[in-house]
């Protein structure tokens, strides 16, 4: 990874570095398209093959059929495009956790304004303990927050600020028992490439959500500008396209064509095919490092090492009371977190600050070494 040369990198939750084989795959794809001719009959089989290969690959990672996967540019568009196509009724209630990303919150706020909806909050940010206790608390609070008007729940799988994992499959089951059967929108920005998603049965978070939106440029270490969303069968039957283009149509050359019956109705128009070749290569590289559960175990070993080391540094406090369930390690610092991040950057160590809660966040991936964790801990000790 060129981006890791001379750096100690802990910002995978913002953007993962692109591996050289993935960069090479992107370049080779550009060249192939140009050699075949960017708009010739010879290039379409290549484009269709590249697109289908990635769609099938992501469907396998999600644990859903390929017809349920749509390509997007990023997580936000994957959340918003199908969300805005749902049949809303004035007075419907949107229930959002207090750990959702500002982009998704802003989209829901504007949707509520236009459609005459109300918004409510599901508190989860204060849940900092063990998995079993967290799961029980989320479901108990959900029970208290649900009303006869609840029509949608927005809940991230891996919370981008505290690093806690939410019980998505159990939450989906509870929503199915509600009279309104509220839709479940899951922001999977931090989970694809980090958590196992494609388990069989009821535990599959991506398969049990109505909208499960992800990006390839974070934990998958793919190129920016490409994401995907897994949509439920129910949503495909109830939601209509919002931002419409030729790729939304079942017959792209006909103005009288209807929309695709599958998730492709939420795709819009021309996409960058070489990015798909790059993301496919990044997924293959991750798979070569072991199964999803094995990769998570490696991520957890590194995050635990960092979490334990932070306990010994005066003036720092981890947000989670237990070792992180994934690779996000958030902690507070006396004084200015921004100044501390800047000082670490001057030493070639890169992490970030968050606003809510106001803290620092370091991310460990399978590429994170014990020596890098030691380097960060030593620098934090020195700077305190």
Cβ contact 198:204 at 8 Å: yes
Give residue-wise pLDDT tens across range 181-211.
999 999 999 999 999 997 654 468 999 999 9
Residue 114 sits at φ, ψ, to 5 deg, of: -75, -35
Using only C-alpha atoms, the chain has a radius of gyration, in whole angstroms, of 21
Distances (CA, A) of 182 to 93, 259, 290, 364: 9, 25, 36, 35
183 in helix, strand or coil? strand
Distances (CA, A) of 149 to 153, 236, 247, 255, 340: 12, 22, 35, 39, 45
Please tell me the distance from the alpha carbon of residue 379 to that of residue 271, in angstroms, as a whole number. Answer: 43
For the record, the structure tokens of 196 come out as 């196992």
Query: CB neighbours (10 Å) of residue 290?
Result: 13
CATH topology of domain 34-286: 3.40.640
Spatial CA neighbour of 191 closest among 227, 234, 152, 142: 227
- pLDDT value of residue 201: 47
How many Å from the N-terminal Cα to the C-terminal Cα in the chain? 31
What's this model's pTM, rounded to 2 decimal places?
0.96
Which residues is 94 bridged to in the sheet? 119, 152
Give residue-wise pLDDT tens across range 102-129.
999 999 999 999 999 999 999 999 999 9
For the record, the structure tokens of 209 come out as 């959500």
CA dihedral defined by 41, 42, 43, 49, rounded to 10 degrees? 110
- Strands 328-333 and 358-363 come out as antiparallel
Return the CATH architecture of domain 291-383. Answer: Alpha-Beta Complex (3.90)
Please tell me the distance from the alpha carbon of residue 157 to that of residue 191, in angstroms, as a whole number. Answer: 7
Residue that the structure tokens 């819009």 belong to? 268
Residue spans of the domains in the chain: they are 34-286, 291-383
- pLDDT value of residue 198: 75
Residue that the structure tokens 């990672």 belong to? 61
CA torsion sign, 81 to 86 to 91 to 92? Answer: negative
Please tell me the distance from the alpha carbon of residue 139 to that of residue 158, in angstroms, as a whole number. Answer: 16
* Angle between helices 75-84 and 102-115 in degrees, nearest 10: 20
Please tell me the distance from the alpha carbon of residue 100 to that of residue 189, in angstroms, as a whole number. Answer: 11
* Low-confidence residues of the chain: pLDDT under 50: 201-202
Phi-psi region of 334 (alpha: psi -120 to 50; beta: other; left: phi over 0): beta
- Strands 183-187 and 150-154 come out as parallel
Q: What is the average pLDDT value for the chain, to the nearest integer?
A: 95
- pLDDT value of residue 254: 86
Cβ contact 186:157 at 8 Å: yes
Distances (CA, A) of 6 to 2, 177, 213, 236, 256: 9, 53, 33, 47, 56
For the record, the structure tokens of 348 come out as 């070639």
């Amino acid at each position: 990874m060129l981006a890791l040369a001379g750096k100690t990198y802990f910002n995978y939750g913002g953007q993962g570095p692109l591996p050289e084989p993935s960069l090479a795959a992107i370049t080779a794809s550009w060249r192939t398209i140009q050699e075949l001719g960017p708009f010739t009959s010879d290039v379409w089989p290549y484009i269709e093959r590249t697109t289908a290969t990635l769609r099938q690959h992501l469907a396998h990672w999600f644990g859903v059929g390929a017809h349920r996967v749509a390509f997007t540019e990023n997580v936000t568009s994957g959340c918003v495009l199908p969300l805005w196509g749902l049949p809303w009724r004035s007075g419907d209630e949107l229930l959002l956790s207090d750990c959702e990303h500002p982009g998704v919150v802003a989209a829901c706020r504007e949707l509520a304004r236009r459609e005459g909806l109300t918004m409510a909050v599901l508190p989860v940010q204060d849940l900092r303990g063990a998995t079993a206790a967290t799961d029980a608390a989320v479901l108990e609070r959900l029970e208290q927050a649900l009303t006869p008007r609840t029509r949608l729940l927005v809940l991230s799988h891996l919370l981008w600020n505290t690093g806690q994992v939410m019980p998505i499959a159990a939450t989906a089951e509870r929503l199915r028992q509600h009279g309104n059967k509220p839709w479940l929108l899951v922001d999977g920005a931090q989970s694809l490439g980090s958590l196992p998603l494609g388990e069989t049965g009821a535990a599959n978070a991506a398969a049990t959500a109505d909208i499960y939106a992800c990006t390839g440029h974070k934990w998958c270490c793919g190129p920016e500008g490409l994401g995907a969303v897994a949509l439920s069968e129910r949503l495909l039957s109830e939601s209509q396209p919002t931002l419409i283009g030729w790729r939304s149509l079942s017959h792209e050359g006909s103005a009288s064509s209807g929309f695709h019956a599958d998730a492709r109705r939420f795709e819009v128009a021309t996409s960058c095919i070489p990015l798909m070749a790059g993301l496919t290569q990044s997924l293959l590289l991750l798979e070569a490092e072991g199964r999803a559960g094995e990769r998570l175990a490696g991520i957890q070993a590194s995050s635990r090492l960092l979490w334990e080391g932070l306990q010994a540094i005066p003036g720092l406090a981890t947000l989670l009371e237990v070792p992180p369930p994934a690779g996000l390690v958030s902690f507070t610092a006396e004084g200015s977190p921004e100044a501390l991040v800047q000082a670490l950057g001057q030493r070639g160590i890169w992490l970030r600050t968050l606003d809510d809660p106001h803290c620092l966040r370091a991310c460990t991936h399978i590429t994170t070494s014990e020596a890098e964790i030691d380097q960060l801990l030593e620098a934090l000790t020195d700077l305190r």
